[in-house]
Amino acid sequence: MVSPKSLFFLTTLFFLLAIYVLPQDVQGQAKIVSPNYIIQMPNFNSGAGIPSSSGYKLDTTIGQTAPGLYSSSGYRVRSGFQYIHSIIPFSFSMSNFLINFGTLIPGTPVTLTSTLTVSAGGAGGYKVTTRESGSLQTSGGQSIPDATCDAGTCTESAAGVWSQATTYGFGYNMSGQDIPSDFINSTYFRHFANASLSQTDQIVMINANVGRSRTATITYKVNISGVQGSGRYQNKILFTAIPSF
C-alpha cells in the first residue's frame, strides 16, 4: 500500500520592463542620468506639455526637430515626445497563482491550468519567459523528477509527447496565442528550465508585433510512480514578462 502524496507549488510573477534607446545621430541630445532619475531625449522646447479642460486633453510638442506623423504605403513613423505614450500600455497578468495538486495517486496523472494575458504596444513586441527554482522537493530532499516524456526526448527547450500513465515527472504544455511552435497539441510537454541546474529561462510566449490581450494557457502536469516517497512537495515557478520598445 502506497501512502498518499501531496504537493503544491507557488507561481511567482516578475515584471521586467526593459527600454532600449538606440543611438541617434542628433546634435545636442543625449540621455541624462543621475542616481535618482533618467531623462531620455532631452530637448529645450519653446512649448510642450499636456494642456486640458473639461472638453479636451492635448499632448503637445513645440520646438523639437521634425515632430509629427509620417506615413506611406509601407510604414508609419510617429516622431515627437507625445508619441512616447504607448497606444497600448504594456501589461501582464496571470490567473491561478497557487497550484495545488492535492493528494496524488501513483500512475494517475493530474493537470491544472493558468491563463497568461499580455498587452504590448512597443515597436518590438514582447516575450514571456519562465523557469523553476528547482525540481519539486520535500523539506527532506526527496524530489519528483522533471518530465522527459514518453520517449525520453523532451527537455526545457523542446517539447515531446507525454501521454502514457507509466511516464512520470513534472512538466507543462502551452496552448493559445504566441506560443512556441513545438507545442503541437495538448499531448506535447516540456519540463521547466531548472535554476538549480543553471538552465536558461525559456520563452513560453513571444510576438514581435503590437497586440492587445494576447492569451495563452499553461497546463501543469505531474505523475508519480509507486515508489515515490511520501511527503509535501513544492517549488516555485518564475514568469518574466519583457516588452521591447
HEC profile of 87-106: CCCCEEEECCCEEEEEEECC
Contact call for residues 162 and 149 (beta carbons, < 8 A)? yes
Domain assignment of residue 113, yes or no: yes
Q: Hey, what's the cell of 235? A: 517549488
Determine phi and psi for 118, rounding to 5 degrees: -130, 135
Domain assignment of residue 225, yes or no: yes
Please report, to the nearest 10 degrees, the dihedral formed by the alpha carbons of residues 85, 213, 110, 103 taken in order.
50
Total-model pTM? 0.71
The boundaries of the domain holding residue 95 are: 5-18+90-243
CA distances from 141 to 36, 82, 146, 181 (A): 44, 55, 15, 35
Domain assignment of residue 53, yes or no: no
Residue 6: which residues within 8 A CB-CB, separation 6 or more?
101, 102, 103, 104, 231, 232, 233
Per-residue pLDDT tens for 88-108? 889 999 999 899 999 999 999
Q: Which residues of the chain have pLDDT under 70?
A: 1-30, 40-49, 59, 61, 63-64, 80-86
Domain assignment of residue 139, yes or no: yes
* Gyration radius of the chain's alpha carbons: 24
Q: Hey, what's the cell of 49? A: 506639455
Instruction: Provide the number of structural domains found in the chain.
Output: 1
Domain assignment of residue 10, yes or no: yes
Domain assignment of residue 118, yes or no: yes
Per-residue pLDDT tens for 210-220? 899 999 999 99
Q: How far apart are CA 158 and CA 8, in angstroms?
A: 25
Domain assignment of residue 79, yes or no: no
Domain assignment of residue 63, yes or no: no
Please report, to the nearest 10 degrees, the dihedral formed by the alpha carbons of residues 29, 30, 31, 33 taken in order.
-110
